[in-house]
A and B are shown apart, each in its own frame.
Chain A
Amino acid sequence: MLFFSSHKIWKYLVALSLSMTLPYSLLAQNDEDDFDPDAFEMADETPLRRFCTNKITNLSPTRLVGISFDYLTGYAMSSEAAPGLSATDAAKYSPYDARVNRNNGLRLDANIPLVSKNNIIANLTASYWESRYSIEEGTVNSAHQIALNHAHHPLRTTTLGTLIFKPLDEKHFLIFQAEAALNGNYNFDDIKPDFGLMKYSATAVYGWKYDDNRNLGVGITRTYRGGSVLHIPVLLWNRTFNNRWGMELLLPARGHARYNFSTKSMLMLGYELEGQSYHVQSASGTNTTYGFSQMELRKSEIRARVSWDKSLTDFIWFNVQAGVRPMYRYDLAQRENADAFISNRMGMPLYFRVGLNLVSP
């Protein structure tokens, strides 16, 4: 017979097929010296889009949770009638000086990832900042009412927002940030916060990631960093020049040159513009401030600084900052969008900040 029996054919084919069922794990477990990428291909045609990340090499770490203590040394606080007032109105607000012995407060920041995948990162942001003024009332003229208000009631900022990084492909990305802020001298006791006067800010950026060492973005922001609402363009530029030097800019909010001692330790030299619009109230049952039970404080300051970040563990970093604080604006107005009636000139104290941060992978 030229042909095997059907039974023998069947046994032969089954044996042949079973011999091909060697687990792919065994086939894959070549020594790495034997690994030839040209001999391999994707297991199937499932499309897998590639996306850029929000980081470049040696970038300062993204802070997930942070706690810090901010301290400013003493400075003078001089109030006077705001420029542009009529002579009659200006006469109501004589210049007065006060001495702030120190200005300090706790800062809590959170940037919690709700979604963190290679095609989108969406974070919930929240913060709580205090600014306490140490002012000796006995040294302050009773007409310098904003200083007296600060002596009793620290300024507080509480924010809640979102930050989204959306890569479009390997080279392009979007950043969107939005935030609601409750700013004032509230204490939930004799000064209650007015949620109807919350301030809303947002930023949108379109960016390009050229390679692992640089990205660039342009956009627009609604911000209170100048003390009152502004709608202005923004520029994002992160660049790593070599293993040591880099730049991190998000103008006009902040800009730093970066020196990397290592991937776990870096020095930053630059500035940050901090500002908010505050709802300042007089406590119930107390004297009004300049005849008003409430007013708007427009505060904007520059923190020119040297900042050092050092990894204590893989994900807990220590930060210390030192610098000076020139004040850009410290004006009082009766309400939002009204002209200021008092301007304050502040001295330029030294400032220090120390903190611990849990940073992102």
Chain B
Amino acid sequence: MNISKILISAFAVLLWTLTPAAAQSLDSPSDIIVGNWQPSNGQSIIQIYKGKEAAGEDPKKLYGRTVWLKEPNDPDTSQPNLDKNNPDESKRKNPRKGLIVMKDVTFTGSKDKLTWGEGSIYDPNNGSTYSFEATISTKNLNVMEGRGYIGVSLFGRTDTWKRLVKK
């Protein structure tokens, strides 16, 4: 094999691995949603991951945790923001950073239609939990349309999230 073919092949492989979406190819579409995402309001970053059995989570399902807040501290107290609107009083002293806000999401689509659902998303601003579904276009795996709704999808709101990657 001559040197030019080696270099061309190596360059092609290198280029493929440097493309973030390629790291989560459509051969494993259910994992495409895994990663760090920022909602359109820019107020937080949510890390979506596969459930951890040690934490009592279902490894076949997906979860989301708040890993960053634009305003980490309560302006009234200068202390870390807490989950003070949680309907469960025992959880109101939990910090909002690190809060599990997305639970039990599963892949509901196919290689050609990337959808997730059957889970829930929690809004600490009002203490309400909604049903959750998400869609990622096969043309751009770095943008997700996430929808929280009550009962039926009609009664919901869609927001656009963008993927973050390491520099």
Contact = CB atoms under 8 A, between A and B. Distances in A.
Interface of A: 6-7, 9-10, 13-14, 17-18, 20-25, 27-30, 32, 35, 37, 39-44, 46, 48-51, 53, 57, 64, 112-113, 116-118, 121, 262-264, 314-315, 358, 360-361
A183 B67 CA distance: 54
A43 B156 contact: no
23 contacts: A13-B10, A13-B13, A17-B13, A17-B14, A23-B23, A25-B23, A35-B68, A40-B45, A40-B167, A41-B167, A42-B38, A42-B163, A48-B162, A51-B40, A57-B125, A112-B154, A116-B158, A117-B158, A118-B158, A262-B85, A263-B126, A314-B128, A361-B148
Nearest to B41: A50
Contacts of B6: 6, 9-10, 13
Contact of A358 (B126, B155, B164, B167): B155
Interface string B1-40: 1110010011001101110110110000001001110101
Contacts of A18: 13, 17
Interface in B112-167: 123, 125-130, 140, 142-143, 148-151, 154-160, 162-167
Given A13-B10, A32-B98, A37-B45, A25 B165 contact: no
A10 B5 CA distance: 9
Nearest to B21: A43
Question: Is the interface on chain B under 10, 10 to 19, 20 to 34, or 35 or more residues?
Answer: 35 or more
B109 interface: no
- Which of A40, A46, A53 has most B Cβ within 10 Å? A40
Nearest to B69: A37
A22 B23 contact: yes
Contact of A116 (B20, B127, B143, B157): B157
B31 A314 contact: no
B97 interface: yes
A300 B165 CA distance: 59
Contacts of B140: 44, 46
Contacts of B13: 13-14, 17-18
Contacts of A41: 164-167
Given A50-B40, A117-B159, 4 more contacts: A6-B6, A23-B34, A39-B166, A48-B162
